[in-house]
Structure 1
């Protein structure tokens, strides 16, 4: 990300927070297990083979940063991984400080930085594993300087719906019931509310879909494991019988398979941008201060020929 970047990644999150975690409605994920999954994935000899999604999303986050016409003296890459965002930001150098880049062991819900520290916080595909997302967003807001900006992304919504449906149908048919095998995701309709509650203003939330074709369901699951994206919810089922897995693969191919024999996997990505308030920021006009009503606009439209202009 450049010399002024501070990297904090879930691969090296503090163990004390994990030990405080436990099952429950407000704590859906086993963070100790997620840490093990991330560490295992990072240690694989061909770990970079499974980085294609984070590479692509990192590029799209960087494009959103480039759209902001300013530079950032100090930036935090939250959940940095292998610097998927930083490698793209380095091309245009929006980070201007001469402070050396450092890595910090941190938990997204308890950032070890002082208030009003960073001009920019970015995060690529890590916040969907946070147990307390409102708390994590509040922490991001806290460490931003006034007029600082947060640009982040996370999996959400319909991500891996093909895999989810195939596993559920196969388990129902073979075992008479099913357990969740794909972790729960935040709904896009909730993100704006959560960002606003955390104190951000001038919000932008948008969605994108990336569809990847795989030879089969087992190759998809192998890549998910290589990404460190395997299920870690407390309600997960520890194992599936071989017959159920084979049935799920057949269902997947039958319901969603492509003509060339591959199967698609859909990843829905949420992107979010939020600013920390500063007096210099543009303010919305007060309610009722408009100089023209919608009725006046309709009257003006009566004088415009169909398909023409005044």
Structure 2
């Protein structure tokens, strides 16, 4: 009987060793329940970590990215279907640089505000924008899409190109966008979904 239990103990030890070797512990979240729940809502993405990733990526980005440029161009094609002009526009994070390049006078935009949660990303956009003198008046804001720092009824157009899929509360972020839009404003977004990359 003793040899059977020692054999079982060896198998268990071997399985634990294999599991540790195949699946390292650092791949799993060690967050406490309080860190995962934010005011009763599930916190899927670590926004601070995402901000740090964007800070690092800001200075390593390529000037253009064919996929991002195609998504931005496709998104802004929707402006050509509208008869209305959009004098004030807000571009939320993600690929705001690609949106700026794809605007090319579309939508009658006179004032474009570019917002991102990353200070370095905003500084990079500001640096790139200072090299050009064409296009609408530009403003830059460091802010979080989940806590939109805009006045109610202040924007004619809000755009997000591949940026909102990192939010923990997408419906809440969209509600805030709706509040920031003027009554006849337009919201345009391209978001990666569950089936997008299959």
TM range (shorter): 0.5 to 0.7
Equivalent of 2:93 in 79, 98, 113: 79
Give how far 1:22 is off. 3.2
**1:148-200 superposed Cα distances (whole Å, 9 cap, x missing partner):** 11011100022334xxxxxxxxxxxxxxxxxxxxxxxxxxxxxxxxxxxxxxx
Instruction: Show the counterpart of 2:160.
Output: 123
The alignment status of 1:156 with 2:156, answered yes or no, reads no
Matched-pair contact (CA < 8 Å) for 2:161–2:190: yes
2:170 to 133, 137, 161: 133
1:93 deviates by 5.6
CA contact (8 A) 2:75 2:161 kept: yes
Is residue 65 of structure 2 the alignment partner of residue 40 of structure 1? Answer: no
User: By how many angstroms is 1:52 displaced?
Assistant: 2.3
Report the equivalent of 1:142. Answer: 179
Q: How many pairs does the alignment contain?
A: 139
Please report the TM-score for the alignment, with normalisation by the length of structure 1.
0.41
Q: Distance in 1 between matches of 2:44 and 2:164?
A: 13
Match of 2:42 in 1: 26
User: 2:111 & 2:151 partners in 1: Cα distance?
Assistant: 18
TM-score normalized by the length of structure 2: 0.63
C-alpha separation between the residues in 2 aligned to 1:129 and 1:105?
A: 16
Q: For the Cα contact (< 8 Å) 1:23–1:30, is it kept in 2?
A: no
Q: Secondary structure at the match of 2:191?
A: strand
Q: Provide the C-alpha distance between the structure 1 equivalents of 2:79 and 2:189, rounded to a whole number of angstroms.
A: 10
CA shift digits 1:14-41 (9 cap, x unpaired): xxxxxxx932461101111111221222
Q: 1:80 to 1:103 in 2, by over 3 A?
A: farther
The offset of 1:54, in angstroms, is: 1.5
The corresponding residue for 1:60 is: 74
Partner of 1:11 in structure 2? none
Note the residue ranges of structure 2 that are not aligned, 5 or more in a row: 1-33, 113-135
Contact 1:71 1:96 in 2 (8 A): no
Distance between the aligned counterparts of 1:125 and 1:84, measured in 2?
10
- How has the CA–CA distance of structure 1 residues 81 and 159 changed in structure 2, closer, same or farther, with 3 Å as cutoff? closer
1:64 counterpart SS class: helix
149 and 103 in structure 1: CA distance in 2 versus 1, 3 angstrom threshold? same
CA distance in 1, matches of 2:101, 2:87: 17
Unaligned residue ranges in structure 1 (runs of 5+): 1-20, 162-310
Structure 1 159/22 Cα, relative in aligned 2: closer, same or farther at 3 Å?
Answer: farther
Q: CA deviation at 1:127?
A: 0.6
Q: CA deviation at 1:101?
A: 1.1
User: What's the secondary structure of 1:108's corresponding residue?
Assistant: coil
Structure 2: how far apart are the matches of 1:136 and 1:93? Answer: 23
